[in-house]
Structure 1
Amino acid sequence: MEPASRERLKSGTTVAPVTPSPVVLPPKTARMEAVEDIVYGSTAGVVGKYIEYPFDTVKVRLQAQPDHLPLRYTGPLDCFRQSIRADGFLGLYRGISAPLVGAALETSSLFFWERIGREAVYASGLAPREAQLPLSALWLSGAFSGACTSLVLTPIELVKCKIQVPETEAGGVVKAPLKPIPVIKDIWRHQGLRGFWHGQLGTLIREAGGCAAWFGSKETTTALLRQWNERAVASDADELARMREEPLPLWQQAVAGASAGMSYNFLFFPADTVKSRMQTTPIGGTEQNRTFAAETRALWRQAGIKGFYRGCGITVLRSAPSSAFIFIVFDGLKKYFPMQ
């Protein structure tokens, strides 16, 4: 102990404890924000894809049943049974390599463009930077994000859908499972570069509308849960102030993320069904050049409104845990591992 400190103790003077100054991190640059969106969004997307992929395979197979043949599957459970009987459980993960890349690109792109959309709202002067954006602006930035992401996503989903749905030859014999590289070569040979965006209109409608619902529902549910939490401690000013600084409890974050996934998948499911049918037509076949409108009319004639919702239940069901994990992983990484 220093001599001066010993003298103060002898004289009875109280020594105030030394409080270390808090470490103040510099504000993130736009470049680091973008890097976080890409790296953490990719990680969250891969986690979500492993959870949802078997259900997505079943969904695509239900959607892709041709309109000139009897239905091959009576429902999701029957599709699960037939698929596992034919290929085993791992067959439900057929073609996951391309979707994993797609999930990483899709999720990182969604978070990246959503942040760009929010920045555009601030730059336009519609909301001051120090204020939180209204929910309407968050829904709008979500739609902008989905529209931009659809351009990245359509080629990846085209390859994924063709791999997920087994092709049959005359006599009902199933061809050998397709691989990504042969599918890509086939598309290029028959349709050129333009062919990779077959089904783009369906992806655009699904992503623009669905992502408005994805981000918007998550933020809306978060705001409602936060209001509910604050009402419970309204009489305690200190606890109320602390709660406003803290993120929601983990289970409430999961509820908000689950509501986002369910809204995304349910509201624009018919557009996804038409897109899947367009993207699973045989390459070089007579139906491969059907437009979005023509495919919609063909499905309506075959099955009516029910045909547009084949596989909807299982899709909404699997989207709840998948979307919850995506938001929890992304928000958790941004909070605990900030990049500077």
Structure 2
Amino acid sequence: MSESNAIANGLAGAGGGIIAQILTYPLQTVNTRQQTERTLKRNKQSSSSNTITTASSSSSSSGIFLQIFQVIGNEGWGGLYSGLKPSLLGTAASQGIYYFFYQVFKNKAVAIAAARKVKGHGDGTVGMFGWLIVAAIAGSLNVLFTNPIWVLVTRMQTHTQAERKILEEKKEALRKAASESSLAGSTLEEKLEKLNSTKPKPFGTIHAANEVYNEAGIVGFWKGVIPALIMVCNPSIQFMIYESSLKHLRAKRSAKKQGDTSVTALEVFLVGAIAKLGATVTTYPLLVVKSRLQAKQEIGGNNSLRYSGTFDAILKMIRYEGFPGFYKGMSTKIVQSVFAASVLFMVKEELVKAITVIANKSKKVVLNSSS
């Protein structure tokens, strides 16, 4: 029974995750580009202008929807859905793996709590720390299995952005060469015009995989895994708030309605939103570091823009961008993640009910036919 319950939760989690991902993917694309944009601290801009390319103010300060319209204008609707296919695969795998193991360890935690009650320890329910451990174990397994998929998704989401950075560097190099030599006039204009007419090459999943492999080998597919593992505390915090809130809500309702502990889809939606909001605000800096590590590292062709690892990324971000760099795009992420989590929880709970009903009916049919 517990195994079938885990499978039902795994399938429901995958289904809910796919629906939430499709609905919020444009926001996720914009957010990833915001996170991987490098900008200087104001007081170092003049002295280090040759060290790092300063992003335009519009990319960092304009509104979410304005940025979405800018992507549509420059790249078409396809730009908002770069990497959607591997992302859907990643979401299905991630949510399925996570919810399967979450339910498996949740069942074990509940059994341990019940056994402790028999021995006179505790009230038979799993405490907040218990939920934290359950979510952490499930999250760690999920990260190790699915990190390669998210590396590819990040590369595809930021490919156009990276290509534009490289193009700007080439233009700057041309202008510099023109000022130091006889290259000028029509020759310079022709070369600049050629660069301006250059469009990013098609960049699919295979292209992204080849780029990652050529850059760092097999190890490259696990870039960002350290902050990702640390970020396991995000869903841990999320599920701790979620499970504790539902437990409190059911207990309160049970006392008022003589044992009726059911919660509505809207209540699940709201509880899921509150849980995700708390988790996102707490762990956002780690998400930015992870995205930086997984994105193309040769942006600008300068060492200050390349990160050899987690600590190198953190130190360079502090040095060149300051602490505000760790919170780039957080407003976009809050909108995207809270909405996605709310939809996910609501759809997942409804799918679990539907799958359970179908499974029970199937068992009854099998039992009736055998008798």
SS for the counterpart of 2:308 is: coil
CA 1:90 to 1:228, structure 2 compared with 1: closer, same or farther past 3 Å?
farther
- The aligned counterpart of 2:130 is 137
- The aligned counterpart of 1:70 is 54
* CA positional deviation for 1:69: 1.3
Moved more, 32-41 or 126-135: 126-135
* CA positional deviation for 1:312: 0.9
User: Structure 2: which amino acid aligns with 1:221?
Assistant: S
* CA positional deviation for 1:96: 0.3
- The aligned counterpart of 2:96 is 108
Matches within 5 A, 1:176-255: 176-206=201-231, 208-229=232-253, 233=256, 239-241=257-259, 243-244=260-261, 247-255=262-270
TM-score by length of 2: 0.74
User: Structure 1: which amino acid aligns with 2:102?
Assistant: E
d(CA) in 1 for partners of 2:250, 2:7:
29
SS for the counterpart of 1:276 is: helix
- Residue of structure 1 aligned with 2:322, choices 277, 280, 304: 304
TM-score by length of 1: 0.81
Identity %, equivalent residues: 21
* CA positional deviation for 1:120: 4.2
d(CA) in 1 for partners of 2:310, 2:67:
26
- 1:57 is aligned to 2:29: yes
- The aligned counterpart of 1:273 is 288
d(CA) in 1 for partners of 2:214, 2:336:
35
CA 1:304 to 1:127, structure 2 compared with 1: closer, same or farther past 3 Å?
farther
* CA positional deviation for 1:174: 5.4
Q: Which has the higher helix share?
A: 2
* CA positional deviation for 1:266: 1.8
User: Structure 2: which amino acid aligns with 1:44?
Assistant: G
d(CA) in 2 for partners of 1:174, 1:298:
31
d(CA) in 1 for partners of 2:208, 2:354:
41
d(CA) in 1 for partners of 2:101, 2:73:
42
Moved more, 67-76 or 145-154: 67-76
- Residue of structure 2 aligned with 1:99, choices 87, 90, 102: 87
Q: Is the Cα contact below 8 Å between 1:261 and 1:322 reproduced in 2? A: no
Q: Is the Cα contact below 8 Å between 2:266 and 2:346 reproduced in 1? A: no
Moved more, 131-140 or 265-274: 131-140
Q: Is the Cα contact below 8 Å between 2:2 and 2:104 reproduced in 1? A: no
* CA positional deviation for 1:74: 2.4
* CA positional deviation for 1:129: 8.3
* CA positional deviation for 1:29: 5.1
Cα RMSD for the two superposed structures? 2.4
d(CA) in 1 for partners of 2:353, 2:26:
30
Deviation per residue, 1:102-127 (Å, 9 max, x gap): 0001111111121232244356x455
* CA positional deviation for 1:157: 1.2
* CA positional deviation for 1:158: 0.7
User: Structure 2: which amino acid aligns with 1:54?
Assistant: P
d(CA) in 2 for partners of 1:255, 1:221:
10
User: Structure 1: which amino acid aligns with 2:205?
Assistant: P
Moved more, 47-56 or 279-288: 279-288
d(CA) in 1 for partners of 2:199, 2:322:
28
* CA positional deviation for 1:210: 0.5
Moved more, 77-86 or 49-58: 77-86
Gaps of 5+ in 2: 40-51, 118-123, 172-195, 361-371
CA 1:217 to 1:174, structure 2 compared with 1: closer, same or farther past 3 Å?
farther
* CA positional deviation for 1:132: 3.1
How many aligned positions are there?
301
- The aligned counterpart of 2:44 is none
